[in-house]
Amino acid sequence: MEVKYSKLTEEQLKSPARAYLLVGNEPVLQREFLDRLRHALQLEPGCLDEATLDARQTAVATVAHILQTLPMERERRLVILHAASRYHASELNTLAQLIPQIPPFSCLVLLPDATDMSDGENPTTHPSKAGWQAVVNAVREHGVVVTLESLRGKTLEARLIEAAQVQGKRLRPPEAQYLMELVDGVAELALMELQKVLLYVEPRTEITREDIERVVSASQQAQVFKLVDAIVAGNSAEALRWLQLLFQGGNRPETAALQTLGLISRQFRLLWDMRILIEHHQPIDRPEQVSEAVAQKLLHEPNVIQLLQRQPFLRERLRRQAERFPLSRLQRAFAALCDADLALKGVQSAVNPVEVMERLIVQLTTQV
């Protein structure tokens, strides 16, 4: 059996299967599924009848032994196996043969290694892992393959609003979207930061943008967005303030300057590609429908189409920035970025890294 997590009902979990395979790298939903399964099995996290194992350190024979051990406190034993896809081919074949033999008093949950799912790769079709498909097929036949859809866009927005409502707070969609922007749309971080906001606003019930601004730790990408917003607005003082924040990571000035320059350069490459999409009248709200001919004109790194798909909440913000930067202005910006890069690497004379970056920001804000 195979089912999307969003379609997995409590009724289906009342009689847990002997084996589950969770497909999809979404930590929030992984934890949520395990909590629901424990509830169905009447187990407490970390109890005597729960075992958490790592395939990189545990032979399949050991997994089999634990599964065949009678539970001590409850009717069923739960075995959680992380990085299951990391077994060698022979071990994977043994694991596939074990699944139909799991006794009725045990339940096995397989979690593939997160690196097997980078760039959207599905471990159920992992080409370099001989034997993995046999494991998948065995779970499909004797258990349940659960697909964890990524929490992003409107789905994550709705979950944040619901999480606030459960705590008696009101989080409106614009504030939820702003919170998502500050953490790059990462569900796990968004929900963690929301908990900080909920504590901060107590006893008030309304969550404002200012509350989020004060409490949430903005990611580097979010800080760069704000810096570029200031550049677009021609606000040198605000842009320099965000530059100083980007420098506060604890690295040496030389290292911090190069890292910050890389982040700013990445943002301007995204604006270049967005400008091309705009000038060719491409559907930015539906990036999967961008024509192949236009896609060929885009830079390979970063991939703006993939970014728009993964982080849809950035679409309007990138569009607004790009509309203020015609290609001619972007070309001048790239020339300024190149000069700063040469200065930081000692090819051109410069006083110090901080001054190089400050001069760059003033140039981008007032002269480009």
Same domain, 172 and 192: yes
- Which distant-in-sequence residues (6+ apart) come within 8 Å of 8 by Cβ? 33, 146
Same domain, 243 and 299: yes
Same domain, 360 and 255: yes
Residue 170 pLDDT: 96
Residue range 30-82, pLDDT digits in tens: 999 999 999 999 999 889 999 999 999 999 999 999 999 999 989 999 999 99
Task: Please give, one letter per residue, the 3-state secondary structure of the chain.
Answer: CEEEHHHCCHHHHCCCCCEEEEECCCHHHHHHHHHHHHHHHCCCCCCCCEEEEECCCCCHHHHHHHHCCCCCCCCCEEEEEECHHHCCHHHHHHHHHHHHHCCCCEEEEEECCHHHHHHHCCHHHCCCCCCHHHHHHHHHHHCEEEECCCCCHHHHHHHHHHHHHHCCCECCHHHHHHHHHHCCCCHHHHHHHHHHHHHHHCCCCECCHHHHHHHCCCCHHHHHHHHHHHHHCCCHHHHHHHHHHHCCCCCCHHHHHHHHHHHHHHHHHHHHHHHHHHHCCCCCCCHHHCCHHHHCCCCCCCCHHHHHHHCHHHHHHHHHHHHCCCHHHHHHHHHHHHHHHHHHCCCCCCCCHHHHHHHHHHHHHHCC
Same domain, 23 and 123: yes
Q: What is the pTM of this model?
A: 0.71
Per-residue confidence band for 165, with pLDDT thresholds at 50, 70 and 90:
very high
Final residue of a structural domain among 172, 193, 215: 215
Same domain, 129 and 28: yes
Same domain, 187 and 304: no
Same domain, 76 and 164: no
CA 115 to chain CA centroid, Å, is 13
Q: Which of 172-176, 290-294, 310-314, 362-366 has the lowest mean pLDDT?
A: 310-314
In the predicted model, what is the mean pLDDT of residues 241-264?
84
At 337, which CATH number? 1.20.272.10
pLDDT of residue 126 exceeding 60, the answer is: no
Same domain, 270 and 196: no
Residue 46 pLDDT: 86
Final residue of a structural domain among 126, 147, 168: 147
Same domain, 108 and 24: yes
> What mean pLDDT value characterizes the chain?
89
Residue 118 pLDDT: 46
pLDDT of residue 121 exceeding 50, the answer is: no
Same domain, 143 and 33: yes
Same domain, 262 and 327: yes
Structural domains of the chain, count = 3
pLDDT of residue 127 exceeding 60, the answer is: no
Final residue of a structural domain among 92, 119, 147: 147
Domain range enclosing 118: 2-147
Residue 119 pLDDT: 41
Same domain, 274 and 336: yes
At 159, which CATH number? 1.10.8.60
For the chain, the straight-line distance linking the first and the last C-alpha, in angstroms and rounded, comes to 58
Best-predicted range by mean pLDDT among 50-54, 120-124, 217-221, 260-264? Answer: 50-54
**Cβ–Cβ < 8 Å for 220, 251:** no
CA pair distance 278, 293, nearest whole angstrom: 14
More confident of the two residues 221 and 195:
195
